[in-house]
């Protein structure tokens, strides 16, 4: 396992001869109901990458703990950044590690927000236009594994801080789960864009946390790790 922040510059050069792949994990400081920690997205993506790193060789960069949180920006505890900030940060990180010899980049996000994902995609599009010899992929388990993960959940349309995320935290860090929030869903008046988002989604839960179990969380984590290993294997191919 190559944890970027824990190796020396000499070790970096040695590992670079074995792999040109680096993974940047993106999390959030974001409300996840009254029962899950603010670092839920960060916890999940970091843990699955650590497990994947035991099966594939790649540089694992330190977690980026902030993301674009549009629907939850007014909830207590959420700290959001703008899409522009995320695009520029991603562009800088990839460009600078490219200058150090890395050529394959996986942007792995534990946060599935629409604007957050779009910002990562926009940054990646510009980077593949700028550099001819790179591979860049974006990984969101809630995008690439939507069907498989929904098969684990009993709650239709389960999402943020619901059955599945609660199950994964129960599996990874049960001591961080503070009881169970009630089933809830956002009530934003589509297609209108509203300023006071907290008014329409006060509980910050999308799904039914009461149906969560550690066993479901273990199954979900296993699916995510397997998919990550599959993508990393594909990235290594010329």
pLDDT in tens, 4-20: 999 999 999 999 999 99
pLDDT (tens digit, 9 = 90+) per residue, 20-56? 999 999 999 999 999 999 999 999 999 999 999 999 9
Q: Which domain, by its residues, includes 48?
A: 2-236
Which pLDDT belongs to residue 213? 98
CA–CA dist 142, 165 (Å, integer): 10
Q: How many domains does the chain contain in total?
A: 1
Average pLDDT of the segment spanning 61-80:
97
Which pLDDT belongs to residue 143? 93
Going by pLDDT thresholds of 50, 70 and 90, the confidence category of residue 237 is confident
Average pLDDT of the segment spanning 214-238:
95
Residue 101 has pLDDT above 80, yes or no: yes
- Angle 140-141-143 (CA atoms, 0-180°, nearest 5)? 70
Its pTM stands at 0.96
CATH of the domain at 124: 3.40.50.10310
Which pLDDT belongs to residue 147? 93
What token pair was written down for 139?
């990984």
The strand pair at 2-3 and 59-60 is best described as parallel
What token pair was written down for 93?
């990180």
For residue 191, whether the previous peptide bond is cis, meaning omega lies within 30 degrees of 0, is: yes
Which pLDDT belongs to residue 30? 98
Q: How far is CA 175 from the centre of its chain?
A: 21
């Amino acid at each position: 396992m190559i944890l970027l922040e824990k190796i020396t510059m000499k070790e970096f050069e040695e590992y670079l001869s074995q792999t040109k792949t680096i993974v940047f994990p993106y999390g959030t400081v974001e409300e996840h109901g009254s029962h899950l920690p603010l670092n839920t997205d960060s916890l999940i993506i970091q843990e699955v990458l650590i497990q994947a790193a035991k099966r594939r060789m790649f540089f694992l960069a330190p977690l980026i703990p902030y993301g674009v949180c549009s629907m939850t920006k007014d909830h207590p505890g959420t700290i959001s950044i703008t899409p522009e900030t995320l695009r520029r940060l991603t562009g800088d990180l990839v460009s600078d590690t490219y200058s150090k010899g890395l050529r394959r980049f996986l942007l792995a996000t534990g946060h599935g927000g629409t604007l957050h994902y779009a910002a990562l995609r926009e940054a990646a599009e510009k980077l593949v236009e700028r550099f001819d010899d790179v591979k860049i992929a974006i990984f969101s388990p809630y995008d690439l594994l939507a069907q498989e993960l929904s098969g684990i959940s009993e709650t239709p349309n389960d999402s943020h801080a619901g059955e599945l995320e609660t199950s994964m935290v129960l599996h990874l860090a049960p001591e961080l789960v503070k009881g169970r929030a009630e089933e809830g869903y956002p009530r934003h008046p589509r297609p209108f864009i509203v300023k006071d988002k907290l008014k329409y989604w006060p509980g910050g839960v999308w799904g039914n946390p009461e149906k969560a179990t550690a066993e479901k969380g273990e199954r979900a984590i296993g699916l995510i790790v397997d998919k990550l290993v599959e993508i990393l294997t594909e990235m290594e191919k010329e």
